[in-house]
Structure 1
Amino acid sequence: MNDTTVQHKDFFIVSNKIFDFNLPANTIAVYCCLLMFADREKLSCFPSLRMICEKCHLTKNTVIKCLRSLEKIGLVQVKLRKRWNNSNSSNMYYLFDPSVVNS
């Protein structure tokens, strides 16, 4: 990287195709929140439900409903994770590009 190159890590890009799904604003907010946390190459992340709630200013029930909606249409895949002692950990979220998912 040379002196004139600036790396921006404080933003993310969302495909315009997200609006083709006619999703409620809360669901788009949850998708964007997951994108914000996602690894740019693998498009996966593992924020806690509490963190998603805080970032989106939504209740836990609303976030869960949004995640189910996103999973149902194929924009997100949710994988449960466990700790070494078999207690629950944060979920792993795999995100899919709206331009390759059928709306």
Structure 2
Amino acid sequence: MNGGLPIENEKFFKVPNGIFEFSLKPSELAVYCCLCKFRNNRTNSCFPSRKTVAGLCGVSVKTVDAALKRLCVLGLIQKRKRQGRKGNFYSNEYTIPNPGERV
């Protein structure tokens, strides 16, 4: 194979076609796709750090925060703060509904 990404032994994630109906900014789409990459298909949730998402998307944490806020407002994701038994906070948990559903 010349050029491109090799697809043998690669992992893939699904993104609903309907995502393009929301007129998302490129950064919002990138953040949504990144969350889909980490999504557990059994629980529909994931918990990457904002810094991790920013690094993978090539944007700032501030841009990730703005994208997450808009994705929540649109009902495309749900965000929940995760807190440990001792009161310390972990990365947020994001729930991404199945295609056709909203949170």
Query: Shorter-chain-normalised TM-score: which range?
Result: 0.7 to 0.9
User: Which residue of structure 2 aligns with residue 77 of structure 1?
Assistant: 78
TM superposition outliers: structure 1 runs of 4+ over 6 Å: none
- Tell me which residue corresponds to 2:40: 39
Distance (whole Å) between structure 2 residues aligned to residue 13 and residue 24 of structure 1: 19
Q: Deviations over 1:32-63 (max 9, x none)?
A: 10010010122100111111111111101100
Partners in 2 of 1:23 and 1:83 — Cα distance?
A: 33
Task: Give the Cα separation in 2 of the matches to 1:9 and 1:40.
Answer: 17
Retained in 2: the 8 A contact 1:75–1:98? no
TM-score normalised according to structure 2 size: 0.84
Alpha-carbon contact 1:43-1:95 (below 8 Å) kept: yes
Scaled by the length of structure 1, what TM-score is found? 0.84
Partner secondary structure for residue 100 of structure 2 = helix
The answer for unaligned runs of 5 or more in structure 2 is 1-8
| SS of the residue 1:78 aligns to | strand
Counterpart AA for 2:76: L
Match of 1:31, SS state, is helix
Higher relative contact order (CA 8 A, sep 6+): 1
- Spell out the pairing of 1:5-16 with structure 2 (5 A cutoff): 10-16=11-17
Deviation at 1:9, TM superposition (A): 6.2
* Structure 1: tracts of 5 or more residues without a match: 1-7
Partner of 1:62: 63
**Greater shift after overlay, 64-73 or 8-17?**
8-17
